[in-house]
């Protein structure tokens, strides 16, 4: 058995052992607050077992292993539906950036360990009402205030802000230069005076995203994590941290097996739907597409194991998987006819077609919309030109509103 | 089993690409469309000289004992440069049938020639819309074949064919020496495929499999060929994606490259997605040969490769506008090839059924 296989076996055994306490059955019927409390206990158990911060340095509470071990663990972990969603953003982006750019190293170390233990949560304050994709067009401003800064403005779509202790934020510190040159990157205390968090209820019924208002929020200069005016580069680092995470060719919706089971179960014109050519074609097409994504992901893992950099095709997963999950979920509701009306707001998008369908649009927008991803593929991989950008090179305060 | 290509395999891909790019041009291929019965002799000479014909055949019979992964890499490059003859795939299918089912004498007789490329092989299973008919059109009795095998790719030039025939209600696979068999060329939209009707009139044949074994072996051969063809389709799709990209960065309209318009750049980005999914499925399928899930991996490769090549042919021409539909620019060579490869080795409808039967646990 290779070291990696041994690691996988150990991870799989540990995950199995956590199912009674933290699995789907244990979470059933819990309120979000109760589930979060359970999640914190899960994260602590994960830390104690040596599966938190797998590829982070040991001096910050990590395990000092490789990226391949991390995604190997995640591949096992995602089979069980543990309450880890609250820590995904926190440990995925803000905390690694803090680890890389935070000025006060003792403070950084304390925060990182508490975040790994599930005791503290960090959010990422990027998107604003005026734009999400156009990150550099943000309007929230920080002005010099004594030895520090004073923040005013509004962020939006901030995941888990209502439960967060800290956040990383990009703000405008100079409106007189081109838009991406006037930004600076800070961390903020989410409990500081002047910070107001308002949850936004989404179409599917859940409220994990928020509006966050900043009214004269004062921070000292040691909160700064980039040079003044150098915030955009750090923000890009954040977005590029881990292109290869444990991906899901089902687009975080139901597995195709569930669709096949449904098609065997229901009838069209008196015959099992699985015998209907229209249904068969969709099953076959979805299988071929998902098999392709799975193969891309397997190849990426093998390349990482061999110490190589995986190809850019890994960027296809979210684009291809989520939009096809949306259509397949529509068809699954069609298949059930009027029985498809049944809707459980607390059902999981991973095993319920209505839940998968109503939450799919969020997946096609969050973390880079389909259109943004297509632009990225076209420009970064294929070398096609950027879109026409009338605001390019113009001082931010001269851009026509 | 590894699905990363090793150094030798990477060298096969690089070298075959270099040779084909140097030796094949669309100007050689265009005239072949307007005649019947001609193929690109330079391509075939290259294939023989480079040992591509021998690649996946056993060493004992003049082969190189490599496998589907290596042949797939060649097929991908052949697809990129619009291979000038269909014999790599058809010869491989015929040779595999002989290798798997034939007697020593049959192997001695045919495999060395197929490996060197001196002999050309064909596979004739389909009857029109049915790639693998339960009741084949051909009949076999006492070692003789009767009937017409329709639209057999490479049939016009082949020396030997593996055919599916009906013997008193039971399917058989038979090996037929095509010397002296009457053939008539089919005028097709892709004439260098050398598609022909073969008329058998009491032609001597050697039965190599009977009953369910014959049908099973025919499906196995078809599956192997489908994986080779899927690589060829993926290569064609990749070439078209690159041609579209190159055109979109140079052609200007309204004061900017047309590739700056999202209607164009997103279309090309979508092609990239289709090509990479097909490529990933092809690499995986080639590495799963002889495993229990080979057929589902092959079906996935075939379906995604057909979709990639068809879509790339459609969109690449569209992105070019008027110049794209001219004879001279030659994009129609890919259009034609995308459809001829889609029809050979079982159409998408066939592979969809193969796949769903297995996913639903209903396969025989």
pLDDT in tens, A220-232: 999 999 999 999 9
DSSP A254-321: --HHHHHHHHHHSEETTEEGGG-HHHHHHHHHHHHHHHHHHHHHHHHHHHHHTTPPPPGGGGHHHHHH
| Separation of alpha carbons A74 and A53, rounded Å | 11
Domain ranges of chain A: 3-116, 122-231, 247-381
Q: Give contacts of A291 with chain B, Cβ < 8 Å.
A: 281, 284, 296-297, 300, 304
Report the pLDDT value the prediction gives residue B363, as an integer from 0 to 100. Answer: 57
Interface of A with B in 160-189 (CB under 8 A): none
Interface of B with A in 298-317 (CB under 8 A): 299-301, 303-304, 307
Nearest CA in chain B to A249: B277
Structure tokens at B340: 């001829």
- At a CB cut-off of 8 Å and minimum separation 6, what does A211 contact? A154, A155, A156, A158, A197, A198, A200
pLDDT tens per residue across span A36-45: 999 999 999 9
- Which residue in the set A303, A320, A374 is minimally distant from B266, CB to CB? A374
Q: What is the dihedral of CA A43, A46, A47, A50, to 10 degrees?
A: -160
- Which residue in the set A283, A306, A378 is minimally distant from B359, CB to CB? A283
Report the pLDDT value the prediction gives residue A243, as an integer from 0 to 100. Answer: 53
Contact A385 B273 (CB under 8 A): no
Helix axes A277-305, A316-336, angle to 10 degrees: 150
| Separation of alpha carbons A228 and A77, rounded Å | 40
Report the pLDDT value the prediction gives residue B364, as an integer from 0 to 100. Answer: 44
CA angle B357, B359, B364 (to 5 degrees): 35
Chain B contact for A379, CB < 8 A?
Answer: yes
Nearest Cα to B339, choosing from B138, B65, B153?
A: B153
Q: Pairing mode, if any, of strands A166-172 and A122-125?
A: parallel
Structure tokens at A63: 């395990």
| Residue A28: how many other CB atoms lie within 10 Å | 9
Question: Contact A197/A212 with Cβ under 8 angstroms?
Answer: yes
What is the three-state SS of A167-225?
EEEEEECCCCCEHHHCEEEEEEECCCCCEEEEEECCCCCCCCEEEEEEEEEEECHHHEC
A contact test, residue of B4, B275, B356 with most A CBs within 10 A: B356
* H-assigned helices in A23-129: 24-27, 32-48, 67-77, 88-92, 94-101, 105-116
Report the pLDDT value the prediction gives residue A348, as an integer from 0 to 100. Answer: 86
| Average pLDDT value over all residues in chain A | 93
Report the pLDDT value the prediction gives residue A246, as an integer from 0 to 100. Answer: 57
Report the pLDDT value the prediction gives residue B58, as an integer from 0 to 100. Answer: 96
- Largest CA-CA distance found in chain B, in angstroms, rounded: 74
Question: Contact A322/A249 with Cβ under 8 angstroms?
Answer: no
Question: Contact A291/B288 with Cβ under 8 angstroms?
Answer: no
Nearest Cα to A253, choosing from A331, A326, A346?
A: A326
Hey, which residues does B182 pair with through a beta bridge? B199
Report the pLDDT value the prediction gives residue A68, as an integer from 0 to 100. Answer: 87
Q: How deeply is B355 buried, as exposed, middle or buried, from its count of CB atoms within 10 A (0-12, 13-18, 19+)?
A: buried
Chain A contact for B248, CB < 8 A?
Answer: yes
- At a CB cut-off of 8 Å and minimum separation 6, what does B201 contact? B146, B182
| Separation of alpha carbons A353 and A344, rounded Å | 10
Nearest Cα to A362, choosing from A330, A328, A326?
A: A326
| Separation of alpha carbons B278 and A296, rounded Å | 10
pLDDT tens per residue across span A250-276: 888 999 999 999 999 999 999 999 999
Residue A155 dihedral angles phi and psi, to the nearest 5°: -110, 165
- ipTM beyond 0.85? yes
Nearest Cα to B121, choosing from B135, B136, B109?
A: B109
Chain B contact for A281, CB < 8 A?
Answer: yes
Each residue's pLDDT, cut to its tens digit, for chain B (364 residues) gives 457 999 999 999 999 999 999 999 999 999 999 999 899 999 999 999 999 999 999 999 999 999 999 999 999 999 999 999 999 999 999 999 999 999 999 999 999 999 999 999 999 999 989 999 999 999 999 999 999 999 999 999 999 999 999 999 999 999 999 999 999 999 999 999 999 999 999 999 999 999 999 999 999 999 999 999 999 999 999 999 999 999 999 999 999 999 999 999 999 999 999 999 999 999 999 999 999 999 999 999 999 999 999 999 999 999 999 999 999 999 999 999 999 999 999 999 999 999 999 999 965 4
Mean pLDDT of A131-142: 91
Structure tokens at B364: 């025989």
pTM over 0.80: yes
Mean pLDDT of A272-289: 98
User: Domain A247-381 maps to which CATH number in 2.160.10.10, 3.30.70.930, 1.20.140.10, 3.40.50.1100?
Assistant: 1.20.140.10
What does CATH list as the number for A3-116?
1.10.540.10
Chain A contact for B260, CB < 8 A?
Answer: yes
Q: What class has domain A122-231?
A: mainly beta
Structure tokens at B28: 């050689």
- At a CB cut-off of 8 Å and minimum separation 6, what does A28 contact? none
| Separation of alpha carbons B355 and B364, rounded Å | 12
The C-alpha of A305 sits at a distance from chain B's nearest C-alpha, in angstroms, of 11
CA A257, A261, A267, A271 torsion-angle sign = positive
Mean pLDDT of A90-106: 92
Task: Assign B235 to helix, strand or coil.
Answer: helix
| Separation of alpha carbons A61 and A104, rounded Å | 17
| CA B190, chain centre distance (Å) | 13
Half-sphere exposure of B338 (CA within 13 A, CB side): 27
| Separation of alpha carbons A158 and B256, rounded Å | 37
| Separation of alpha carbons A248 and B213, rounded Å | 39
């Amino acid at each position: 058995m290779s070291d990696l296989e041994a690691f996988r076996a150990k991870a799989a055994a540990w995950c199995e052992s956590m199912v009674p306490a933290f699995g789907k059955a244990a979470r059933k019927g819990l309120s979000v607050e109760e589930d979060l409390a359970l999640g914190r206990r899960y994260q602590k158990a994960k830390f104690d077992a040596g599966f938190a911060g797998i590829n982070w340095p040991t001096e910050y509470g990590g395990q000092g292993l490789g990226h391949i071990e991390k995604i190997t663990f995640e591949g096992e972990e995602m089979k069980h539906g543990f309450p880890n969603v609250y820590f995904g953003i926190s440990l995925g982006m803000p905390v690694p950036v803090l680890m890389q750019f935070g000025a006060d190293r003792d403070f950084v170390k304390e925060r990182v360990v508490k975040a790994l233990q599930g005791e503290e949560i960090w959010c990422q304050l990027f998107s604003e009402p005026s734009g999400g994709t156009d990150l550099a067009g943000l309007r929230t401003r920080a002005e010099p205030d004594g030895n520090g800064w004073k923040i005013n403005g509004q962020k939006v779509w901030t995941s888990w802000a209502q439960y967060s202790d800290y956040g990383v934020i990009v703000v405008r510190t100079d409106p007189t230069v081109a838009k991406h040159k006037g930004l600076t990157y800070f961390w903020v205390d989410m409990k500081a005076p002047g910070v107001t968090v308002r949850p936004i209820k989404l179409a599917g019924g859940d409220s994990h995203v928020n509006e966050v208002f900043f009214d004269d929020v004062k921070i000292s200069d040691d909160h700064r994590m980039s040079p003044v005016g150098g915030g955009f580069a750090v923000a890009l680092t954040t977005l590029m941290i881990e292109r290869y995470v444990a991906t899901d060719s089902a687009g975080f919706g139901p597995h195709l097996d569930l669709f096949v089971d449904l098609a065997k179960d229901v009838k069209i014109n008196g015959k099992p739907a699985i015998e209907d050519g229209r249904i068969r074609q969709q099953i076959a097409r979805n299988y071929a597409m998902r098999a392709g994504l799975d193969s891309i992901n397997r190849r990426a893992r093998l390349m990482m194991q061999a110490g190589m950099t995986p190809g850019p095709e890994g960027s296809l997963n979210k684009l291809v998987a989520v939009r096809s999950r949306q259509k397949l979920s529509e068809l699954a509701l069609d298949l059930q006819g009027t029985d498809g009306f049944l809707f459980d707001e607390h059902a999981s998008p991973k095993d319920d077609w209505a839940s998968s369908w109503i939450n799919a649009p969020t997946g096609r927008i969050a973390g880079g919309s389909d259109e943004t991803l297509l632009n990225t593929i076209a420009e970064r991989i294929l070398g096609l030109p950027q879109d026409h950008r009338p605001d390019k090179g113009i001082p931010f305060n001269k851009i026509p509103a | 089993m590894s699905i990363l290509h090793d150094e030798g395999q990477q060298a096969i891909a690089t070298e075959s690409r270099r040779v084909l790019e140097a030796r094949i041009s669309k100007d050689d291929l265009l005239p072949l469309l307007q005649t019947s019965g001609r193929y690109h002799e330079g391509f075939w000479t290259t294939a023989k000289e480079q040992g591509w014909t021998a690649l996946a055949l056993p060493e004992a019979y003049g082969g190189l004992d490599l496998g589907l992964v290596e042949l797939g890499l060649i097929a991908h490059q052949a697809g990129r440069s619009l291979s000038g003859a269909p014999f790599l795939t058809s010869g491989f299918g015929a040779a595999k049938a002989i290798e798997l089912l034939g007697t020593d004498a049959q192997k001695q007789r045919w495999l060395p020639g197929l490996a060197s490329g001196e002999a050309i092989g064909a596979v004739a299973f389909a009857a029109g819309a049915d790639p693998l008919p339960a009741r084949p059109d051909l009949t076999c009795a006492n070692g003789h074949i009767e009937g017409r095998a329709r639209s057999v790719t490479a049939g016009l030039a082949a020396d030997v064919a593996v055919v599916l025939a009906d013997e008193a209600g039971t399917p058989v696979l038979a090996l037929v020496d095509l010397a002296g068999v009457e053939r008539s060329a089919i005028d097709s939209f892709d004439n260098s495929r050398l598609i022909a009707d073969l008329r058998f009139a009491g032609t001597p044949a050697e039965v190599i499999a009977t009953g369910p074994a014959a049908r099973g072996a025919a499906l196995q051969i078809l599956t192997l060929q489908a994986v080779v063809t899927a690589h060829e389709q993926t290569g064609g799709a990749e070439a078209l994606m690159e041609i579209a990209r190159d055109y979109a960065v140079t052609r200007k309209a309204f004061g900017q490259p047309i590739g700056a318009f999202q209607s164009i750049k997103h279309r090309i980005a979508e092609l990239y997605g289709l090509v990479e999914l097909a490529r990933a499925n092809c690499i995986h399928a080639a590495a799963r040969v002889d495993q229990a899930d080979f057929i589902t991996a092959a079906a996935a490769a075939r379906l995604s490769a057909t979709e990639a090549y068809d879509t790339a042919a459609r969109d690449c021409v569209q992105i070019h506008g008027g110049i794209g539909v001219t004879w001279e620019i030659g994009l129609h060579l890919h259009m034609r090839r995308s459809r001829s490869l889609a029809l050979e080795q079982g159409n998408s409808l066939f592979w969809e059924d193969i796949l769903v039967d297995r996913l639903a646990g209903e396969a025989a």
